[in-house]
Amino acid sequence: MNEKKATPHILHSYAAKKEHLIIGLMSGTSLDGVDAVLVHITQSGGEQFTLKHHYYLPYSKGMREKISRVCRVPSSHVNEILDVHFGLSHWYAKAVNNLLIESGYKATSIDAISMHGQTVWHSPVATPFPGPDGEFGVTGTLQLGNASVLAKLTDIPVISDFRSADMAVGGEGAPLAPYSDFMMFGSTQEGRIIQNIGGIGNATVLPKGDQQSSIFAFDTGPGNMIIDEIVSLHTNMEQLYDDEGKIGKSGKVEEGVIEHFMKDPYYKKSPPKSTGREVYGKDFTQTFIEKCGEYNLSFSDCVATATAFTAQTIAHSYKEYILPRYSISKVLVCGGGALNSTLLEMIQQRLPKEIEVTTISAYGIPDQGREAMAFAIMGHRSLLGEPGNLVLVTGARVPVVLGTITL
pLDDT surpasses 70 at 37: yes
The whole-number average pLDDT for the span 338-361 is: 96
pLDDT surpasses 90 at 209: no
Instruction: Find, among 116, 115, 122, the residue nearest to 71 by Cα.
Output: 122
pLDDT surpasses 90 at 216: no
In the chain, % of residues over pLDDT 70: 96
Residues 6+ apart with CB under 8 A from 17: 43, 111
What would the pLDDT profile of 85-121 be if each residue is shown by its tens digit?
A: 999 999 999 999 999 999 999 999 999 999 999 988 8
pTM, entire model: 0.82
For all residues of the chain together, what is the average pLDDT? 92
The larger pLDDT score, comparing residue 130 to residue 276, is at 130
What would the pLDDT profile of 166-195 be if each residue is shown by its tens digit?
A: 999 999 998 898 888 988 898 999 999 999
What would the pLDDT profile of 260-318 be if each residue is shown by its tens digit?
A: 999 999 999 999 898 988 899 889 999 999 999 999 999 999 999 999 999 999 999 99
Helix 78-103 and helix 147-154, axial crossing angle in degrees, nearest 10: 30
Three-class DSSP labels, the chain? CCCCCCHHHHHHHHHHCCEEEEEEEEECCCCCEEEEEEEEEECCCCCEEEEEEEEEEECCHHHHHHHHHHCCCCCCCHHHHHHHHHHHHHHHHHHHHHHHHHHCCCHHHCCEEEEEEEEEEEEEEEEEECCECECEEEEEEEEECCHHHHHHHHCCCEEECCHHHHHHCCCCCCCCCHHHHHHHHCCCCCCEEEEEECCEEEEEEECCCCCHHHCEEEEEEECCHHHHHHHHHHCCCCCCCCHHHHHHHHCCCCHHHHHHHCCCHHHHCCCCCCCCHHHHCHHHHHHHHHHHHHCCCCHHHHHHHHHHHHHHHHHHHHHHHCCCCCCCCEEEEECHHHHCHHHHHHHHHCCCCCCEEEEHHHHCCCCCCHHHHHHHHHHHHHHCCCCCCCHHHHCCCCCCCCCEEEC
pLDDT surpasses 70 at 75: no
- How many angstroms separate the Cα of 324 from the Cα of each of 186, 312, 316? 20, 17, 12
Structural domains in the chain, sorted by start = 7-174+368-406 (3.30.420.40), 178-363 (3.30.420.40)
Give the pLDDT confidence score for residue 180 in this predicted structure.
87
Report the C-alpha gap between 190 and 328 in whole angstroms.
7
Give the pLDDT confidence score for residue 6 in this predicted structure.
45
pLDDT surpasses 90 at 214: no
pLDDT surpasses 50 at 2: no
**Which band of pLDDT confidence, cut at 50, 70 and 90, is reported for residue 3?**
very low
Give the pLDDT confidence score for residue 74 in this predicted structure.
61
Report the C-alpha gap between 350 and 381 in whole angstroms.
37
Residues 6+ apart with CB under 8 A from 169: 396, 397, 398, 400
